[in-house]
Chains A and B, each alone.
Chain A
């Protein structure tokens, strides 16, 4: 597997003049960045009234994602930690304003400023501690809470990012939830190694837009969807289908007069069967089939 750039150097060092130049000359990088920005804008689900909105672009880099926003007639302000990338953005004469800043130090904007926020391939940088005083959890919380306040109360923030593992996803979503966001993770092309893309969709308000939490699931859920059915991520999630399937299987067993699997009756019946076969079996006690406490 290719080395992850966030393991090689901090972002302000990694995106030096050489790396920044790629983002204005390499047509493949440009194509991918633009494609992801278009997708993020789609997930942002701005009202379709052709009005100009003010969008925050976090990790704007050379302004490639910003030009997608410009094409849709939106105003944008970008924040990035790499001066080299921002210099390219200024050179390209992008319409939006760019600011040199670190996500982990918080967004330097007054409350209720933006109608939405997008971020392309930036969030994973925040999961690393590049300096001795960096604490990824704290930096994520600071970032999400200041972002939450700088958005309007009906806004969304969409992050395309490259999580390294499921722990990182959990860390990011936990801190976003702590900051007050609702939302979920949308995965495009889940079965393709190359085209697979993660989009974290966060919402500041509007309980009606929330995907329904089921069973033990929190308000955050991972939705695996393909591009075609990905129009509305509040639609039927995979979990719902799977839970229904388990319910159906248990219902079938019950109808045949059998206890549901892993239940006390099921275990007792199994032990009885072993005794009849003459096998060594522990006696039935009040502890049989008792749930372990969460401490174990």
Chain B
């Protein structure tokens, strides 16, 4: 799972959960993959991203130095930051880990790079 996908995931599907965002991410095993840098796509993606989740992902991926805690203005003009964002969002592949719902504490495991978002009968 890429960290861009992590930014979009919520636990809203669980019964009773209002926001379910951002999930608490824990990475136990990650991999680096290469991906083509596409600045226009990242620029289009920016309004959809939640910066607090981007920052949380950066901390988990041990890249906290690259990503400021507050969303800077005019990111699109900052080529270096765009490249760092690209690296964080598209080139880090989480192989093993888990995500925790902030409201219920329900844990969604990530195995072989596939997050398991399946719910149990009583959670639907």
Which residues of A are at the interface with B, using a C-beta cutoff of 8 A? 51-52, 54, 75, 77, 79, 81, 83, 86-87, 90, 95, 97-102, 105-110, 112-113, 131, 133, 142, 146
With A90-B113, A99-B115, A108-B13 as contacts: A52 and B38 at CB distance below 8 Å: yes
Q: Is the pair B124, A52 in contact by a Cβ cutoff of 8 Å?
A: no
Interface residues of B, CB < 8 Å — how many? 29
With A54-B45, A86-B114, A87-B112 as contacts: A110 and B50 at CB distance below 8 Å: yes
Please report the C-alpha to C-alpha distance between residue A112 and residue B47 in the assembled complex, in whole angstroms. 10
Does B9 lie at the interface of the complex (its beta carbon under 8 Å from any beta carbon of A)?
A: yes
Does B104 lie at the interface of the complex (its beta carbon under 8 Å from any beta carbon of A)?
A: no
Q: Is the pair A108, B11 in contact by a Cβ cutoff of 8 Å?
A: yes
With A51-B41, A87-B112 as contacts: A97 and B10 at CB distance below 8 Å: no
Q: Is the pair A105, B12 in contact by a Cβ cutoff of 8 Å?
A: no
Most A Cβ at <10 Å: residue of B10, B40, B44, B121: B10
Most A Cβ at <10 Å: residue of B113, B114, B116: B114
Please report the C-alpha to C-alpha distance between residue A100 and residue B2 in the assembled complex, in whole angstroms. 14
Question: Which chain B residue shows the least CB distance to A131?
Answer: B121
Partner of A52, one of B5, B41, B48: B41
Please report the C-alpha to C-alpha distance between residue A110 and residue B2 in the assembled complex, in whole angstroms. 16
What's the least CB distance linking B38 to chain A, in Å? Answer: 6
Q: Which residues of A contact B76 (CB under 8 A)?
A: none
Q: Is the pair B13, A146 in contact by a Cβ cutoff of 8 Å?
A: yes
With A77-B5, A90-B112, A99-B115 as contacts: A109 and B10 at CB distance below 8 Å: yes
* Interface mask (B87-124 → A, CB under 8 Å = 1, otherwise 0): 00000000000000000000000001111111101001
Question: Which chain B residue shows the least CB distance to A54?
Answer: B45
What's the least CB distance linking A202 to chain B, in Å? Answer: 20
Q: Is the pair B41, A98 in contact by a Cβ cutoff of 8 Å?
A: no
Q: Is the pair B13, A105 in contact by a Cβ cutoff of 8 Å?
A: yes
Question: Which chain B residue shows the least CB distance to A132?
Answer: B121
Please report the C-alpha to C-alpha distance between residue A51 and residue B119 in the assembled complex, in whole angstroms. 35
With A97-B1, A102-B119 as contacts: A83 and B114 at CB distance below 8 Å: yes
Does B51 lie at the interface of the complex (its beta carbon under 8 Å from any beta carbon of A)?
A: no
What's the least CB distance linking B97 to chain A, in Å? Answer: 14
Q: Which residues of A contact B10 (CB under 8 A)?
A: 108-110
